[in-house]
Amino acid sequence: MQQRKSKKILIYFFLLFLVGSISNNNLNDLKFRDISNINIIGLDIKEKAILLKKIKNLNLDNIFLINRNHLINELELNSLVEKYFIFKRYPSSIDINIQKTKFLAKINKNGKIFYLGSNGKLTKSNFSNSQLPFIFGNPDIIEFLSIKKIIDKSKISYSEIKNLYFFPSKRWDLELKNNTIIKLPNENINLALKSALQFLYKNEFKDNKIIDARIKNQIILND
């Protein structure tokens, strides 16, 4: 019992000492420093400056009281960001490591050209990339990502595609850089593409410019 009382006295003494120490110091010295450095890695100079300005407008205060949700929301709204990692460097710096999205195609939306990224977001940009295929029609982004996934699993390289045509019936035509057009159905696309590609690389069919795989279990070739 006496030992327990002694422990309590020691705890009370420590707390009293702590409170007394705080009250005898300048309270301003207890304030944490505001965030002074935000380091963004993975974007070019212009892209970094635009994102940095938006982050600074969030008024993040000090590193201990940072509103992480506001910062995450700003990063996820950015169409250039595929993945991101946030690191706190005490006492007053934040590192944001960004994996930039990969542009997959160009598309016209309301008279403006956008770049469609692997993150499923559209980016308006002034630069030109003639290597990217153009999407004609008005597919949902998920529909494009679906056909892109099928192409990537096939024997044809996505880099061989010049244009993609999407029709209201929910099917695609692929125009290759050698001007061959592959017509695909709106169902069993992977099997149809596999069948079509069997004719694409054979010498006896090299002059055929249309490979029509829309009818199940049939391939129609046209000059």
Tens digit of each residue's pLDDT, the chain (223 residues): 545 545 445 554 444 444 444 334 444 444 556 677 889 999 999 999 999 999 888 777 666 666 678 889 999 999 999 999 988 888 778 899 999 999 999 999 988 999 999 999 999 877 677 789 999 999 999 999 999 999 999 999 999 999 999 999 999 999 999 999 999 999 999 999 999 999 887 777 777 899 999 999 899 998 6
- DSSP string for 72-136: HHHHHH-TTEEEEEEEEETTTEEEEEEEEPPEEEEEEETTEEEEEETTS-EEE-S---TTSPEEE
Q: Which of 47, 89, 2, 189 is nearest to 213 (CA)?
A: 189
Helix (H, G, I), strand (E, B) or coil at 198: helix
Strand runs labelled E in 17-70: 37-41
Tokens of 103: 């542009």
- Please state whether the peptide bond connecting residue 133 to the residue before it is cis, i.e. omega within 30 degrees of 0: no
User: Would you state the pLDDT for residue 69?
Assistant: 82
User: Would you state the pLDDT for residue 202?
Assistant: 79
Helix (H, G, I), strand (E, B) or coil at 62: strand
User: Would you state the pLDDT for residue 129?
Assistant: 72
